[in-house]
Structure 1
Amino acid sequence: MVEYLDTSAGRKLAYHKTNGKGPGVVFLGGFMSDMSGTKAIHLEDWARSQGRAFLRFDYSGHGESSGAFADGCIGDWAEDALEALSKLTEGPQILVGSSMGGWIALLLARKLPKRVHALVGVAAAPDFTEDSMWPGLTDAQRAEILEQGQTSLPNSYDDTPYILTRRLFEDGKAQLVLRTALDLPFPVRLMQGTRDEAVEISVPLRLCEHATCPDLRLTLVKDADHRFSTPECLGMITAAISEVSQ
């Protein structure tokens, strides 16, 4: 049954929590996705079979949480994740960040490094608003954002368009993690498909080059796409979690 966390910012976050042994696993979803996706449910089932603590939740404006998606930004969703981590889990956690969730995980690691046992990034997309989304817009779309405050883009996953706001991009500049020192003093495992249509291979390579980390490994998976949700890919994620659980 879904539960709700009231945040200090007045937002209501929907979540599912599984009790168990540590280190627990926290799943951080992607941009305009929710906690009912294939990876989140698979990891919850796997964690339950292992007797391991697990948390999945919806950022504000996503899924069953309060608020409108268009009102949110990276900073808001990172605050949501910070409160979920702080109030709903105990001890060091393994953060599993999918796409935008990988960026959120890095922000959490910078804010609360002692609460992070390890980080697993699945098609992690740090700094994407600045490095790929904004450059990928047309001149007309950028002008619409600057002059009218937002524009909409078709969504390749369902019929709900992406609403991209001026606030999203302005806030994104304040959340960048690849421009300043990024110390990750714990194991990091990154996985990236070679047919990912949303995140280029150069992104995890840049992250590997930029971060200071004693144990960071990147696995490229031939022909895997951005969803990274085939049985083989899901098995790689759980294997990575098991590896860094020690």
Structure 2
Amino acid sequence: MFPWILNDLLQFLNTPLVHVQYEWRESSGLGELLSFGWVLLCQILVGSSMGGWLMLLACLERPERVAGVVGIATAADHFVTAFNQLPSEARMEAAKTGVYTRQTRYIEGGVYAIQYGFVKEAEEHCILQSSIDISCPVRLIHSMKDEVVPWQTSIKVAEQLASDDVDVILRKGGEHRMSQSDDIKLLVTVVEDLLHRVTKKEPK
């Protein structure tokens, strides 16, 4: 990803109020990423958590421009799955108030306030119920101690991908953000290896 797209995406994902799906393209940089005018070469996409879901959607929309993808704690369908697991009373309350709240330790205040419209819109972009028509190399990294997105989600993504060149890397330690030094080293290694693979260069 271009640095400015990555910066916009990180800012978007750290915003307490998550916007509806049509705003994903504007706020996350997905629109720019898919723009014919900006994307001149095939890209290796790297996405974390919800960014991993966006990454897969981008790949599905412009497969000819994606050489490979690396997902970290890929949260495919996650908001929809989590919402549907709520008691019926909580879902009805969210529909009534227009807001769905989730506890989190990753932002000040400890609560995500998610627009109900986001969840309903996101239902149209779920990808785990059928084959995911992505044929490029895919690498998925997930902590087995992830308390936000279960590591089984990455396994499910791998199972649904059309590509045969798929590796799932499970770390026994770590946490959802995979932000410790060893996690970063692993991510860099995975991206470098994939880059060498797709450019047909041998690792040094």
Classify the TM-score, shorter chain. 0.7 to 0.9
Q: Given the two structures, how large is their TM-score scaled by the length of structure 1? A: 0.70
Residues 175-214 of structure 1 correspond to what in structure 2 (within 5 A)? Answer: 175-214=125-164
- The Cα of 1:59 is off from its aligned counterpart by 4.6
Please give the alpha-carbon distance, in whole angstroms, between the structure 1 residues aligned to 2:14 and 2:181.
27
Going from structure 1 to structure 2, the CA distance change for 1:227 and 1:59 (only over 3 Å counts) comes to: closer
| Mapped contact 1:191–1:220 kept (Cα < 8 A) | yes
**Which SS does the other structure have where 2:12 is aligned?**
coil
Gaps of 5+ in 2: 197-204
1:195-230 deviation line (CA, Å, top 9, x unaligned): 000111211111111111031000000122101011
135-144 vs 158-167, greater mean Cα deviation:
135-144
Equivalent residues, number: 192
- Higher RCO, Cα 8 Å, sep 6+: 2
In structure 2, the partner of 1:225 is 175
- The Cα of 1:143 is off from its aligned counterpart by 1.9
| Mapped contact 1:193–1:226 kept (Cα < 8 A) | yes
| Mapped contact 1:100–1:124 kept (Cα < 8 A) | yes
Whether 1:107 and 2:57 are equivalent positions in the alignment is yes
Going from structure 1 to structure 2, the CA distance change for 1:75 and 1:176 (only over 3 Å counts) comes to: farther
Gaps of 5+ in 1: 1-24, 27-43, 45-53
- The Cα of 1:89 is off from its aligned counterpart by 3.8
| Mapped contact 1:120–1:190 kept (Cα < 8 A) | yes
Whether 1:137 and 2:86 are equivalent positions in the alignment is yes
**Which SS does the other structure have where 1:245 is aligned?**
helix
Among 185, 190, 204, the residue aligned to 1:240: 190
Q: Given the two structures, how large is their TM-score scaled by the length of structure 2? A: 0.83
1:112-147 deviation line (CA, Å, top 9, x unaligned): 00111110000001011222x213434443121111
Going from structure 1 to structure 2, the CA distance change for 1:217 and 1:78 (only over 3 Å counts) comes to: farther
| Mapped contact 1:198–1:226 kept (Cα < 8 A) | yes
| Mapped contact 1:145–1:164 kept (Cα < 8 A) | no
Identity %, equivalent residues? 26
> Structure 1 or 2: larger helix share?
2
